[in-house]
Amino acid sequence: MSETILQVEGLSKHFGGIVANQDITFSVEEGEIISIIGPNGAGKSTLFKMICGVRPKGSTRKPDSGTVHFHGQNITMLPAHKICHLGLALVFQETEPLRAMTAIENVAVGSLVRHDSYHEALERGGHILERVGLSHRRDSTATDLTLAELKRLEIGRALATEPSLLMLDETMAGLTLNEMQEALDLVRRINREGITTILIEHVLEAVMAVSQRIIVLDQGRKIADEIPAAVVKDPTVVKAYLGGEINNA
């Protein structure tokens, strides 16, 4: 029987009078691929940042209430770097490369979480670049990569931290259909290697094809948590989010 890897309970966040997240509760089992979807402003990215402990300077992304447990440990108030050490890696919605560093250096920096020696991290980084299909761009500066390559690089960098849970925030955004397909294949491969995956997405077709379960948010509230086939038929989801039937590609 699989173990619960992530447990989110009653998570709420308000910005003044605006509800970003209200009483969000869900859990993720080891080995799953789940997706969190919702229209713009549904509170997906806020939820993502609260779970991962990402708090840009000056922001107050700590939850107002609720808890997040990862592998049974309460991580609600932990900063991102400590959460990363526990095995939760993330890929941002906007690409956030280490701009002036090469592809291999970007990935090696990720490896430093598990390796004290930079040279070991470089070696490991080489394998990761192969895994994400970027070994031919090893010595290219991050700013010279295409958007699709940058997204692969960031997935590689997250993998380099040797996570047990990978959270991807709108990784498909801005990709062509072909690139999206390649990215999805990569996500499936990563999941087959035993890494639990959470996709936070806007591209519904992508989510349908890859997810075992879908959580739908609307106006900061969870309105569904079901298998994809059930989500497309859920009248609350159709009404609140889709405005009609989903084209299940």
Partner 1 sequence: MVEDILRNLGRLGWPWRIAVLLLVAGMVLFYFTGSPYYQSLFLAIAMYVVLCSSWNIISGITGYVSFGHVAFWGLGAYITAVLIVKLSFSWPLALLSSGLLTGVFAALISYPILKLSEVYFAISMLALAETVKILVAYFRGLTGGGGGIYLPPLIRPGLAFLLMTILALIVVLMTYVLQDTKFFKSLLAINNNELAAGSLGIDTTRRKTQAFILSAVFPAMAGGIYILNVAFIDPKTAFDIGMTLNTIMMTVFGGLGTVLGPVIGPVVFMLLSETLWARFPFIHKAILGAIIVLLVIFLPRGILTSLLRGVERLRSRMRRAT
Interacting residue ranges for partner 1, rule: CB under 8 A: 52, 54, 56-57, 79-82, 84-85, 89-90, 92, 96-101, 105, 108-110, 112-113, 116-119, 121, 157, 161
| Beta strand 18-29 pairing with 4-15 | antiparallel
How are beta strands 213-218 and 65-70 bridged, if at all?
unpaired
Nearer to partner 1 among residue 99 and residue 192 (C-beta) = 99
Q: How far is the CB of 237 from partner 1 (least distance, A)?
A: 31
Nearest-approach distance from CB 53 to partner 1, in angstroms? 9
> Closer to partner 1 at the Cβ: 95 or 196?
95
What single-letter amino acid sits at 244?
G
Q: What is the closest distance, in whole angstroms, from the C-beta atom of residue 117 to partner 1 in the complex?
A: 5
Please say which residue, 55 or 188, places its beta carbon nearer to partner 1: 55
Min dist. Cβ of residue 80 to partner 1 (A): 5
**Residue placing its CB nearer to partner 1 in the complex, 99 or 136:** 99
Amino acid at 195: I
* 241 contact partners, CB below 8 Å, separation of at least 6: 37, 38, 39, 42, 216, 218, 223
Q: Quick one: 35 or 106, whose CB is closer to partner 1?
A: 106
Residue 145 to residue 48: CA distance in whole angstroms: 26
For residue 141, list its beta bridge partners.
Answer: 102
CB of 82 to partner 1, least distance (A): 8
Specify the amino acid at residue 227.
Answer: I
Which has the closest alpha carbon to 246: 40, 173, 237? 237
The residue (of 136 and 192) whose beta carbon lies closer to partner 1 is 136
Work out how close the CB of 70 gets to partner 1 at its nearest, in angstroms, rounded to a whole number: 14
199 bridge partner residues = 35, 168
One DSSP character per residue, 104-155 reads: HHHHHHHHTTT-S-HHHHHHHHHHHHHHTT-GGGTTSBGGGS-HHHHHHHHH
Sole residue written with tokens 């969000």: 24
Q: Three-class SS of residue 85?
A: helix
